[in-house]
Amino acid sequence: MIQRVPVSGVQDIGTDWNSVCEEQAKFVSVLVGLQRIKILRLLRGGELCVCDIEHALGIPQNLVSHHLRVLREAGLVSARKEGQFVYYSRVEDRILQLTQALTGLLST
């Protein structure tokens, strides 16, 4: 039987490590779509309706709605309905959590 020697600097990651990594990966995966990053950047200027986002990105309304749904489910944007329009804005606390998750994933 071959006995493995731990690589220098590698720590025991424990059993919770996989679930933590899966949770972080799911959260960060929201940013995989270029359009989602663009939407978050657009919303830095304040709330916008779907039609404004559609016009700015030059993509169909159904795709804008899909990306907004993913961002909303991740808690990164919130929606407010006014008449027939839905306005979206960033949830800055959640954006900060995402930034911290990315920093934690990429730090040494």
Domains of the chain: 33-106 (1.10.10.10)
Range of weakest confidence among 2-6, 20-24, 41-45: 2-6
pTM score of the predicted model: 0.75
What 8-state DSSP symbol labels residue 32? Answer: G
Q: Which residues of 71-96 are buried (b: 16+ CB within 10 A; e: fewer)?
A: beebebbeeeeeeeeeebebbeebbe
Question: Given this model, what pLDDT does residue 1 score?
Answer: 55
Phi, psi of 40 (to 5 degrees): -60, -40
Question: Given this model, what pLDDT does residue 14 score?
Answer: 55
Residue 61 above 80 pLDDT? Answer: yes
CA atoms within 13 A on the CB side of 70: 19
Residue 68 above 90 pLDDT? Answer: yes
Confidence of residue 37 (pLDDT cuts 50, 70, 90): very high
Beta carbons within 10 angstroms of residue 68's beta carbon: 21
Question: Given this model, what pLDDT does residue 30 score?
Answer: 80
